[in-house]
Structure 1
Amino acid sequence: MDPLLILMLLAMGAFGGFAAGLLGIGGGMILVPFITMVLTARGVPETLVVHMAIATSLATIMFTSLSSVRAHHRHGAVLWRVVQLLAPGIVAGSMIGPWIGKQMDASTLAWFFGAFVAFSATQMLVNKKPAAARDLPGTGGMFAAGGLIGTLAGLVGAGGGFVSVPFMTWCGVRIHHAVATSAALGFPIALAGTVANVFYGWGEPGLPDYSLGFVYMPALLIIVAASVATAPLGARTAHKMPVRRLQKVFAVILYALAAYMFWRAA
């Protein structure tokens, strides 16, 4: 692999890992457009680029979530009972999301991803937290909520934080607990989604060398090496300082990345 591409992957891994720890977003919305650029530069067929970028991004979250959740757990911020209740639905949804993505052509998937990122950027920029309107639902409601979170996360290659954090806040969970718990939910999302992407992409014509289904292993390994180092830094920062100013910066970056995906889809 070209040394410049390796440096790009290291840089995006460091940035994505920090974002994952800081905001509980899994880093996927940042990583997918950049991985798309890298795979395009590697000559991967247009029909596979976005699918592989999403699958590879999702696989990185298995590692960044473990790294960031450890830092959140030290602060006692992870609500493990909530994780237990949401995880079954999340696993089911994270298997369904990649299947839905496979049914889409590359252009449609890029449009959907861009729209989701633009919506998430707006949510971050406005920073309007839903008022606590109720308590967390029972087992059935938590399974349904987890299913929706997992499906969206598996479809766009993200950790689900932009759905799970507002949901938990709406149900009366304090924001720091919601972010920390969202980071913990990233692992079952990523594990189930990665297994699905390996299965659905197995034997797909045109995959580059060193691919495991839709997951491009060289990019995965390089990004993980950087992101695991920076995710705890992001988590510590979330507990030490107001993150509002950084949220605005990330929102602008997300708008730019959404615009890139719209451009690719056009």
Structure 2
Amino acid sequence: MDWAVLVGYWPFVLGLLVTGVFSGLAAGLLGIGGGAIIVPALATALSLMGYDSDLVQHVAVGTSLAIIIPTGIMSARAHYKRGALDMRVLRLWAPLIVVGTFIGGLMAGYFSGDVLRIVFAVMAFVIAANIVFAFQTKLMGHLDGSSLTHRISAFVVGYISALMGIGGGSLTVPTLVAFGATMHAAVGTSAAIGVAIALSGTLGFVISGWGVAGLPPFSVGYINLVALVLVAVLAAAFAPMGAAIAHRLNQQTLKYVFAAFLVFVGLNMLWKVIFG
């Protein structure tokens, strides 16, 4: 590889480093694993490098899930130290969320890139609306004591999270709040649940992308190792800082920050579907 090619990669590398910082802060602050930042950022970077639009979205989603593993561990650890991790809920959710995420990761290869983008955008809008208007609490609040409801919710969250390439926080947080958890406890527990989602989903994307032609260099299935290393290191390092910020904000402020963030990301995804 000559120097001209190496120089051409520097904007991509710098973009990944900035993505790592912001995704780590988002993971700690909102319990979302950073995927809502990583997926659009990585997809944009790969598109600018000339890769096929369908492959770009799959690689972005799969790699995002892999990156969430270390980010989620660091974020969950920081919240655990502050007493904001509900072990009862974690035990209820973990087994079914792993199954749902693995199935979603395997099936992702059958969907086009635009389908994955639309899923991401629509769910982002629904979740943001729910945070502001709390309709999920009215529908599901009385089911907090039901283990079956927790497990069904875990499977659905896992499946959709795999298609979105997120750690599930944007689905898990409002669901746990609807079940009666405080915002801080929901964010902390969501970070731990996100690790289970990321592990299972990553395996699914490795399998579904194995042998696919036209992938970026240093890819294992739909997981790009260059992006994984660069983003994961900084994301894991900055997640505790985001958690510290979260515990300085009141719950109402945290909810509105979360909702505004999701709307922005959803609009970005729809823009890509409509205008390419």
Q: Which residue of 2 aligns with 1:58?
A: 65
Q: Which residue of 2 aligns with 1:32?
A: 39
CA pair 201-169 structure 1, distance change in 2 beyond 3 A: same
Find the aligned partners of 2:49 and 2:65 in 1 and give their Cα distance. 20
Instruction: After superposition, give the CA deviation of every residue in 1:52-99 in whole Å (9 maximum; x if it has no partner).
Output: 111111111101110111111111211112111110100000111123
- Contact 1:35 / 1:53 at 8 angstroms: preserved in 2? yes
- Contact 1:30 / 1:254 at 8 angstroms: preserved in 2? no
Find the aligned partners of 1:143 and 1:247 in 2 and give their Cα distance. 24
Find the aligned partners of 1:166 and 1:255 in 2 and give their Cα distance. 15
Q: Which residue of 2 aligns with 1:104?
A: 111
- Contact 1:168 / 1:178 at 8 angstroms: preserved in 2? yes
- Contact 2:127 / 2:171 at 8 angstroms: preserved in 1? no
Q: Which residue of 1 aligns with 2:236?
A: 228
TM-aligned CA deviation for residue 119 of structure 1: 2.8
- Structure 1: segments with no counterpart, 5+ residues: none
Counterpart pick for 2:220 among 199, 212, 220 = 212
Counterpart pick for 1:168 among 158, 165, 176 = 176
Q: Which residue of 1 aligns with 2:151?
A: 143
Alignment TM-score, normalising by the size of structure 2 = 0.88
Find the aligned partners of 1:242 and 1:55 in 2 and give their Cα distance. 33
Find the aligned partners of 1:67 and 1:133 in 2 and give their Cα distance. 32
Find the aligned partners of 2:143 and 2:116 in 1 and give their Cα distance. 34
Find the aligned partners of 1:181 and 1:156 in 2 and give their Cα distance. 20
TM-aligned CA deviation for residue 252 of structure 1: 4.2
CA pair 253-145 structure 1, distance change in 2 beyond 3 A: closer
Alignment of 1:187-206 (within 5 A): 187-206=195-214
TM-aligned CA deviation for residue 253 of structure 1: 4.6
SS at match of 2:181: coil
Give the partner amino acid of 1:8: G
SS at match of 1:78: coil
TM-aligned CA deviation for residue 21 of structure 1: 0.7
- Structure 2: segments with no counterpart, 5+ residues: 1-5
Alignment TM-score, normalising by the size of structure 1 = 0.91
SS at match of 2:247: helix
- Contact 1:61 / 1:187 at 8 angstroms: preserved in 2? yes
Find the aligned partners of 2:236 and 2:176 in 1 and give their Cα distance. 26
CA pair 63-254 structure 1, distance change in 2 beyond 3 A: same
CA pair 261-187 structure 1, distance change in 2 beyond 3 A: same
Give the partner amino acid of 2:59: M
TM-aligned CA deviation for residue 251 of structure 1: 4.3
TM-aligned CA deviation for residue 213 of structure 1: 0.4
Q: Tell me how large the CA RMSD over aligned residues is.
A: 2.0
Residue 10 of structure 2 is aligned to residue 3 of structure 1: yes
More deviation, 146-155/161-170: 161-170
- Contact 1:99 / 1:200 at 8 angstroms: preserved in 2? yes
Find the aligned partners of 1:43 and 1:263 in 2 and give their Cα distance. 18
